Amino acid sequence: MVRETRISVDQLVYPMFVRDGQGIREEIGSMPGQFRISVDRLAEELQQVDDLGIPAVMLFGIPDEELKDPVGTPAYAEEGIICRALREAKQQVPDLLLVADVCLCEYTDHGHCGLISQTPGESPGVDNDSTLEVLARTALTYARAGADVIAPSDMMDGRVAAIRRSLDAAELYRIPILSYAAKYASAYYGPFREAAESAPQFGDRKSYQMDPANAREALKEVQLDLKEGADMVMVKPALPYLDVISRVREMTTVPVAAYQVSGEYSALCAAFDRGWLQRESTVRETLLAIRRAGADFILSYFAKDVAKMIREGNWE
């Protein structure tokens, strides 16, 4: 009766990986229990998510390797992997909320989140401003294909404003933007990069993702994205940045999301497999910690596990 923090199924978003091909449901080696799924097998997975009462999924696309190019063309192709997945999902499971991740790392042959430029005599780097047009085009393509929410994760400065202008010009005023506003250059993304086949081919992403040492900077990033038109903001990763979630929650009234990322998931799964931690109670405690810090909803690869525990009465 007096419990301060609670978890319900409708606070969960389930991340999913959709890849080119036919008849594919392949387990991800570093993420036990998670799969890359082809579009023709997507409906059965989405139906399971919907049946569990989980309200939303986040879709990440994995195009065939030979389709990738320096400017991420497969990201905004109308017959690209995400657009096909969105249309299939909307047709087969119309009540499920579809959140489309907008980034270029899965679609570029260099694996970076933006376009690359190089000044003579200097190392190549991401060109922030030239990337904005591609991100806006990608977001518009996804919205037209059926995305209910657009979620830019690239961390380019100005991308929320560029996406909002693009959506509004197409009279898609009601499509909200969930901005990865405070996304850190984290060591916890390793399993995701294997899953999405998106590891950078040179350098790293520290020039555009946030320094793990900085918390005040996160508040600045959030403020900038809100001014540009973000409807919701996200902190990523979750558990190592509970203080940031809390400070973001205090500074804004918009919904705040937290992403319990692949490394958090995989580390816990390894501990569960070795018997070092008890699965149900540990998952419950970690999600409660994220909610207690101030997250309104959580993206988690444990979402289906949690929904089953709640349904079966094994959550309390």
Is the distance from CB of 302 to CB of 309 less than 8 angstroms? no
**Confidence class for position 198, pLDDT limits 50, 70, 90:** confident
Q: Per the domain annotation, does 298 fall within a domain?
A: yes
- Total-model pTM: 0.95
Indicate whether 94 pLDDT > 80: yes
Which pLDDT band, with edges at 50, 70 and 90, does 38 fall under? very high
Whether residue 125 is contained in a domain is answered as yes
* Out of 102-106, 202-206, 272-276, least confident range: 202-206
Tokens for 135, please give them: 């991100």
68 assigned to active site? no
Residue 3 within a domain: no
Residue at 192 is within a domain: yes
Q: Which whole number is the average pLDDT over 182-192?
A: 94
Contacts for 280 with CB less than 8 Å, ≥ 6 apart: 309, 314
As a whole number of angstroms, the longest Cα–Cα distance in the chain is 66
| HEC secondary structure over the chain | CCCCCCCCHHHEEEEEEEECCCCCEEEECCEEEEEEEEHHHHHHHHHHHHHCCCCEEEEEEECCHHHCECCCHHHHCCCCHHHHHHHHHHHHCCCCEEEEEECCCCCECCCCCCCEECCCCCCCEECHHHHHHHHHHHHHHHHHHCCCEEEECCCCCCHHHHHHHHHHHCCCCCCCEEEEEEEECCHHHHHHHHHHCCCCCCCCCCCCCECCCCCHHHHHHHHHHHHHCCCEEEEECCHHHHHHHHHHHHHCCCCEEEEECHHHHHHHHHHHHCCCCCHHHHHHHHHHHHHHHCCCEEEECCHHHHHHHHHCCCCC
Cβ atoms of 131 and 104 within 8 Å: the answer is yes
Report yes or no on 4 lying in a domain: no
Closest CA to 301 of 274, 267, 256, 255: 267
d(CA 191, CA 208): 20
Residue 98 in domain? yes
Exposed, middle or buried, 121 (CB in 10 Å: 0-12/13-18/19+)? Answer: exposed
Is the pLDDT assigned to residue 269 strictly greater than 80? Answer: yes
Please check the confidence at residue 22 and state whether its pLDDT lies above 90: yes
The residue range of the domain holding 33 is 9-311
Alpha carbon dihedral 293, 253, 156, 165, in 10-degree steps, equals: 150
The count of domains in the chain is: 1
At 37, which amino acid appears? I
Does residue 120 surpass a pLDDT of 90? no
Q: If you average pLDDT over residues 11-18, what whole number do you get?
A: 97
Q: What is the CATH number of the domain that holds 199?
A: 3.20.20.70
Residue 199 lies in a domain: yes
Give me the residues paired with residue 95 across strands. Answer: none
Q: Say which residue, 285 or 312, is predicted with more confidence.
A: 285
Residue type, 238: A
Question: In this model, does residue 119 exceed pLDDT 80?
Answer: no
Q: What is the mean pLDDT of the chain?
A: 94
Given 68, 183, 206, 304, the catalytic residue: 183
CB 239 within 8 A of CB 290: yes
CB-CB neighbours of 106 under 10 Å: 25
**Catalytic residue (one of 68, 236, 304, 308):** 236
**Among this protein's residues, is 236 annotated catalytic?**
yes
Task: Tell me: pLDDT of 37 over 80.
Answer: yes
Residue 247 domain-assigned?
yes
Taking the CA atoms of residue 122, residue 135, residue 160 and residue 175 in that order, the dihedral angle to the nearest 10 degrees is -170
How many beta carbons lie within 10 A of that of residue 64, not counting itself?
Answer: 11
89 vs 193, more confident? 89
* Distance of alpha carbon 18 from alpha carbon 225, whole angstroms: 28
